[in-house]
């Protein structure tokens, strides 16, 4: 009898614990998610503060102004751009270009105001740092907005949706901050690989052809090639579309080749070089449209050479794998140019942020890149155990399939031999 009562007591206790967990666990899960989101939000806010400090330090080092810079930088990081009306798509590219040009003018004026007397190279770097700071500050505010919204509504589903994206947000923010630090040192980032390819081919006289864009006329494989890139080594992007359009109007061009960083798929190796058709330029639209219009108006083939990397690698210091891909990209350029008839001319455009990349081969003989150690997979002990069990099961299933296939092959061979004997 006492044993029965004890068992009944345990049953009641387990039942109460079960229903208590049903009520408590969702709240525990919710507050755990909120804590994770708070951690990421605080990290991004610290990054925004660090970006402001970096811009302030660079402005003080490169210019003559010493007071009031930090407050002006914090104000500048709140800068925003309102997209134009796109309900009627006619003229949208001209509107975009107008807004981008005016935003660039505003940031250039701000850089001159924050760092009077600095060189054009570092003025371009300060503009790039301001853009990076604006981006990470905006990201921090968006994350904080969703954290506060989740806390205000106590919505578990909204928390789950946002929490699933936190690892990607954190990864991009880390890479963005690494890129800001690289630009503050005047070092190239992953996206600088296009200008690096162009600079390696520039040996002749360099001339300016459009806003923040230079070119030189070279001979590659016996053909004339106009090599175009943004003016370096400051962090410029340049009006590459205007440059290509002017060169195409002034010369008989048989091909336009663009070289740019390209987003890789997961599983693809960093630094893989691919070749295709089209304009490889990742601007919001205006410059790419000008290149395409120049090609269509004169029936000029458009070729693209892409150097694969992840979005994190594109905005962080240039990885060694990307740097090692430059000779292969140059070989593809030479092959593409050599396929043209003798006496032809081509335009080669090195697309990307030209921070740390000069305007001639001599200026890019030594380019700083980063060696990354292979990231080891870090899993909890339970996950490692389950993973090993699954891998062992998959290996056993594979061996079973191979044995079954071998038995079928033997049966078919035996049947053929039996058929051959019967025929004789």
At 353, list the tokens: 């942020």
Do 30 and 159 form a contact (C-beta atoms < 8 A)? yes
Q: Please, which residues have CB within 8 angstroms of residue 294's CB and are 6 or more apart in sequence?
A: 241, 244, 245, 248, 249, 256, 300
Q: Is 190-362 a domain of CATH 3.40.50?
A: yes
Q: Is the pLDDT of residue 378 over 80?
A: no
Residue 10 pLDDT greater than 70, yes or no? no
Residue 415: its pLDDT value, please? 80
Per-residue pLDDT at 376:
46
pLDDT digits (tens, 9 = 90+) for 129-151: 999 999 999 999 999 999 999 88
Q: Is the pLDDT of residue 2 over 70?
A: no
- The model's confidence at residue 379, banded by pLDDT at 50, 70 and 90, is low
Question: Is the model's pLDDT at 374 over the cut of 90?
Answer: no
Any residues with CB less than 8 A from the CB of 383 and at least 6 apart, and which? none
User: Mean per-residue pLDDT for 368-377?
Assistant: 67
Q: What pLDDT is stored for residue 260 in this prediction?
A: 93
Residue 359 Cα distances to 174, 198, 315, 325, angstroms: 30, 8, 21, 19
If you average pLDDT over residues 354-358, what whole number do you get?
92
What is the per-residue pLDDT across 185-237, written as a single tens digit (0 to 9) for each? 989 999 999 999 999 999 989 999 999 999 999 999 889 999 999 998 999 99
- C-alpha–C-alpha distance, residues 263 and 310, integer Å: 5
Q: pLDDT grade, residue 239 (50/70/90)? A: very high
Closest to 195 (Cα-Cα) out of 235, 225, 222, 247: 235
What is the SS3 string spanning the chain?
CHHHHHHHHHHHHHHHHHHHHHHHHHHHHHHHHHHHHHHHHHHHHHHHHHHHHHHHHHHHHHCCCCCCHHHHHHHHCCCCCCCCCCCCCCCHHHHHHHHHHHHHHHHHHHHHHHCCCCCHHHHHHHHHHHHHHHHHHHHHHHHHHHHHHHHHHCCHHHHHHHHHHHHHHHHHHHHHHHHHHHHHCCCCEHHHHHHHHHHHCCCCCCEEEECCEEEEEEEECCEEEEEEEECCCCCCCCCHHHHHHHHHHHCCCCEEEEEEEEECCCCCCCCCEEEEECCCCCCCCHHHHHHHHHHHHCCCCEEEEEEEECHHHHHCECEHHHHHCHHHHHHHHHHHHHCCCCCCEEEEEECCCCCCCCCCHHHHCCCCCECCCCCCCCCCHHHHHHHHHHHHHHHHHHHHHHHHHHHHHHHHHHHHHHHHHHHC
Beta carbons of 265 and 301 less than 8 angstroms apart: no
Nearest-angstrom CA–CA distance, 122 and 125: 5
Angstrom distance (rounded) from CA 185 to CA 181: 7
**Are 79 and 66 in contact, with CB atoms under 8 Å apart?**
no
Domain ranges of the chain: 2-184, 190-362
**pLDDT tens figures, 302-318:** 999 999 999 889 988 99
Q: What percent of the chain has pLDDT above 90? A: 47
Question: What is the pLDDT at residue 289?
Answer: 92
Mean pLDDT to the nearest integer, 234-260: 93
Give the pLDDT confidence of 107-126 residue by residue, as tens digits: 999 998 888 888 889 999 99
């Amino acid at each position: 009898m006492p044993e029965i009562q004890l068992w009944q007591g345990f049953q009641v206790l387990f039942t109460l614990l079960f229903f208590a967990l049903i009520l408590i666990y969702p709240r525990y899960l919710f507050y755990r998610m909120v804590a994770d989101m708070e951690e990421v939000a605080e990290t991004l806010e610290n990054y925004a503060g660090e970006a402001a400090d970096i811009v302030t330090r660079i402005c003080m080092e490169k210019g003559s102004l010493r007071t009031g810079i930090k407050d002006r930088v914090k104000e500048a990081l709140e800068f925003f751009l309102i997209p134009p009306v796109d309900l009627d798509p006619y003229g949208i590219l001209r509107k975009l270009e107008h807004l981008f040009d005016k935003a660039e003018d505003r940031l250039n004026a701000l850089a001159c105001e924050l760092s009077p007397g600095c060189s054009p190279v570092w003025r371009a770097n300060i503009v790039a740092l301001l853009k990076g700071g604006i981006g990470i500050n905006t990201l921090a505010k968006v994350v904080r907005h969703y954290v506060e919204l989740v806390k205000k509504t106590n919505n578990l589903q909204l928390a789950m949706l946002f929490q699933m994206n936190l690892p990607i947000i954190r990864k991009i923010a880390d890479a963005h901050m690494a890129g800001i630090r690289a630009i503050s040192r005047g070092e190239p980032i992953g996206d600088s690989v296009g200008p690096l390819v162009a600079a390696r081919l520039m040996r002749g006289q360099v001339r300016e052809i459009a806003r923040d864009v230079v070119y030189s006329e070279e001979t590659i494989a016996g053909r004339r090639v106009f090599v175009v890139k943004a003016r370096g080594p400051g962090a410029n992007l340049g009006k590459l579309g205007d440059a290509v359009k002017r060169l195409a109007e002034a010369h008989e061009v048989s091909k336009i080749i663009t070289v740019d960083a390209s987003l890789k798929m997961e599983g693809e190796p960093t630094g893989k070089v691919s070749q295709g058709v089209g304009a490889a330029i990742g601007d919001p639209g205006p410059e790419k449209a000008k290149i395409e219009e120049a090609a269509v108006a004169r029936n000029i083939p458009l070729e693209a050479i892409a150097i694969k990397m992840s979005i994190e690698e594109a905005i962080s210091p240039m990885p060694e794998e990307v740097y090692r891909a430059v000779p292969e990209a140059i070989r593809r350029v030479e092959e593409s140019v050599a396929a043209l008839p003798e006496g032809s001319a081509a335009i080669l455009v090195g697309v990307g942020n030209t921070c740390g990349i000069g305007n001639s081969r001599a200026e890019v003989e030594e380019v700083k890149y980063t060696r990354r150690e292979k990231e080891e997979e870090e899993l909890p002990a339970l996950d490692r155990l389950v993973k090993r069990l699954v891998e062992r099961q998959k290996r056993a299933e594979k061996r079973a399939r191979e044995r079954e296939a071998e038995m079928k092959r033997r049966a078919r061979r035996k049947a053929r031999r039996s058929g051959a004997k019967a025929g004789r």
